[in-house]
Structure 1
Amino acid sequence: FILRIYWENNEQPSVEAPFSAFFGCAYDENFSDRDGNYPVLNSATMLVAPGRGFNSYFEMPFRKHCRITMENRGEKPETLFYMISGWYGEIPENSGYFHATYRQEHPVQKGRSYVILDGVHGKGCFAGVTLASGMNGHNTCWVEGEAKMYIDGDTYPTMNYTGTEDYFGGSYGFGNDIYLNRYQTFSGLYTGLYAILGDTKEMYNHQKRFMLYRWHVKDPVYFDEDFKMTIDNLGWTGPRYDDYTSVAYWYQTEPKPVPFTLPEDKELIME
């Protein structure tokens, strides 16, 4: 399924992403995590509840027109249940239009950063990202990639976070890779590593899958002209070649088309 949202009678969508990835559950064929539990994302803006309960609480104001579509790009008919709620009222003048776009690199090309968001022009506010990462080959420690944000034409990062685990609110390999020797899940209001997929609890050398999120609700990132965000795919031994899948979320003063094109159907399969 592909979710699209169009604002103010625009022909191009401002939101376009595979349905499950939009809700932070890109590995949607996995009904149990490493510990045998249904993966639960419990945050301020998104909830993934047991039984495929995908819930979004992002505010999405518009002034005249909204159109939401769902495209079935599969090979057979499917059943869809949904609820959409809203209200009529005066929209504050400085309200922005909600945007979301999907990206993937399977695998990330060695020697360069993975692009989470680029091609955004105008005035707006970055609101967050969900990331699904699949380990390829020797695991070691994959969480050393720095998240970097470039605001209003800056050549060097305007904001430069440390390791991947630090940007997503964790530390020391999302647990403690020295004493506990295992990754550990957590799910908070604004950030989390809420699911680890794979049959083993051992720390390294296995092709695990991770699902993470980071909402910039209390620390929004504003831009006046343009915005770009990247994150490195790095470990202790340097560049890696893991599978990265992401959805970026932001607001703009005017509705804009998504800056990226979706991959072909066969490339969208997450394993």
Structure 2
Amino acid sequence: SFDGYPDGQVQAPVGDFFGSASGINPMDTIPMIIEPDGTMTCRFLMPFEESCEIVIDNLGAQDVNLVCSVSKIPYQWDDDKSMHFMARWRTDKETAYPSTSPDKFGLKDMTYLLTQGKGVYVGSALTIYNPSPIPMVQGSWWGEGDEKIYIDDDTFPSFFGTGTEDYYGFSMALDYRIMSPYAGQSKNDGPANRGFASNYRWHISDPILFLEKLDFYMELMTSDGIEKIEDFYYARIAYYYARPGITDDHVLISKDDVQYIERQPWLPELGSRYTGSAFHQAEDVIEDANNTRLIVDNLWADEQMLLWTPTVVGDEKTFNLDVTVSGNYKLQIVAANTPSSGKMSAYINDGQVNFYEVGRMGPTVLIKDLFDPYSTVSRSLFGTNTVWLNVGQHEIDIVYEGKSAESSGSDVGIDFLWLQKQ
């Protein structure tokens, strides 16, 4: 709170304030830095004329230990020009998409900020939890909605964007992390767009000035054909500078607002676009389970993931998948990316599988590196080969191909496999 403002110009959960929740999601941006050890740094300048009070309020049940520091510099307050820093957080829990609106995409406007007065808008951050059970972007994508920013006396928005993913700087439904100094996605649980995701956008080089008012909305909208998803969690924070006397629509944060959001148990579903395909839990179809164990967590389908720890390059595991309809198929593998993961290749009936190197497009590779430097995430490995498979049982061989120098282990974690009918 600056200069005696009654409820604090900055109000947000700690992780959300630093632009990346839930959890510790390392990122290095112009105004915000999160380091792997949990150190968080904010570099927004926060002017005040007479006083500044910083309060950390523990609304949870557990004890929390904090080490905090503040950097101070001389500043001459200007009664005609100086502004206070504002950070306003809000959340919608248990919402649904597509919504029940008459629009065929189920469009729903999510309010970021409604404010009256003079100021400068300098950034946004978003955290979502998406419970979609469809492990493909075409079945779980949520970010087609556009930003709409009304300035002063606008009757039509001055800013009318082309998609949430464009606003946050990655231009399509990416299912992996991408970060830059000004915009990015610092977290994506996966597979596809399921689970928790965090996005940020800093208007440092493109600040949005307003003299009388600013209204900021982001549409929550999916792509065509996605089934209705319930219990979608959508939390966002708006950062801006404002002249004293400004008012906005902020509501004080309650304990209910910051209740822990748990991943829910799930099983993969095909959705309407993938008829004829089938999922196979790795632990159910592995031929030899030596040197494997099950990791229990709701990140994984059916609450468990098969973790294999090979000992030498060339070790392999065989999975037997049944095909009930002859046809052309592509292999998809949902695997764990962790700080202790190694590299792997895959074969269908002795034919090697090409995978996209990153995500679901671009260059292909025969060996996939499952290493992630910071966290454990679920990633879809998209095979590009189309293979004819007759009715019957078919062997999928996964081969250990070593590890990167940065990895702390040789783990190969497989959640489930699926043959996607073409």
Q: TM-score range by the shorter chain?
A: 0.7 to 0.9
Shift of 1:226: 0.7
Contact 1:147–1:229 at 8 Å: present in 2 too? Answer: yes
Query: What is the match of residue 250 of structure 2?
Result: 260
Map 1:91-102; keep pairs closer than 5 Å. 91=77, 94-102=81-89
Query: What is the match of residue 222 of structure 1?
Result: 209
Larger radius of gyration: 2
Over 3 Å counting, the alpha-carbon distance change for 1:127 and 1:256 in structure 2 is same
Query: What is the match of residue 179 of structure 2?
Result: 187
| CA RMSD between the two structures | 2.1
Shift of 1:234: 0.9
Query: What is the match of residue 241 of structure 2?
Result: 251
**TM-score normalised by length of structure 1:** 0.82
2:59 matches 1:73 = yes
Query: What is the match of residue 14 of structure 2?
Result: 19
| Secondary structure in structure 2 of the residue aligned to 1:210 | strand
Distance in 2 separating the partners of 1:25 and 1:158: 28
2:107 matches 1:115 = no
Contact 1:26–1:270 at 8 Å: present in 2 too? Answer: no
| Secondary structure in structure 1 of the residue aligned to 2:54 | strand
Distance in 1 separating the partners of 2:21 and 2:246: 24
Shift of 1:26: 2.4
Contact 1:13–1:257 at 8 Å: present in 2 too? Answer: no
Over 3 Å counting, the alpha-carbon distance change for 1:11 and 1:42 in structure 2 is same
2:261 matches 1:270 = yes
Q: Letter of the 1:261 partner, please give it.
A: V
Query: What is the match of residue 123 of structure 2?
Result: 128
| Secondary structure in structure 1 of the residue aligned to 2:148 | strand
| Secondary structure in structure 2 of the residue aligned to 1:78 | coil
Map 1:225-244; keep pairs closer than 5 Å. 225-237=212-224, 242-244=232-234
| Secondary structure in structure 2 of the residue aligned to 1:116 | strand
Residue of structure 2 aligned with 1:211, choices 175, 182, 198? 198
Report % sequence identity: 26
Q: What is the aligned length?
A: 243
Question: What are the superposed Cα offsets for residues 79-119 of structure 1, whole Å, 9 maximum, x if unpaired?
Answer: 1110111112334552321001111111345232111111x
2:184 matches 1:197 = no
Query: What is the match of residue 3 of structure 1?
Result: none
| Structure 2, unaligned runs of 5 or more | 102-107, 263-422
Report the more deviating stretch, 137-146 or 208-217: 137-146
Distance in 2 separating the partners of 1:117 and 1:261: 11
Question: What are the superposed Cα offsets for residues 129-154 of structure 1, whole Å, 9 maximum, x if unpaired?
Answer: 11012213354322211011011132
Query: What is the match of residue 146 of structure 2?
Result: 146
Over 3 Å counting, the alpha-carbon distance change for 1:255 and 1:14 in structure 2 is farther
Distance in 1 separating the partners of 2:63 and 2:246: 31
2:2 matches 1:7 = yes
Distance in 2 separating the partners of 1:223 and 1:245: 24
| Structure 1, unaligned runs of 5 or more | 1-5, 32-38, 175-182
- With CA pairs under 8 Å and 6+ residues apart, which has the higher RCO, 1 or 2? 1
Contact 1:146–1:231 at 8 Å: present in 2 too? Answer: yes
Query: What is the match of residue 301 of structure 2?
Result: none
Shift of 1:52: 1.4
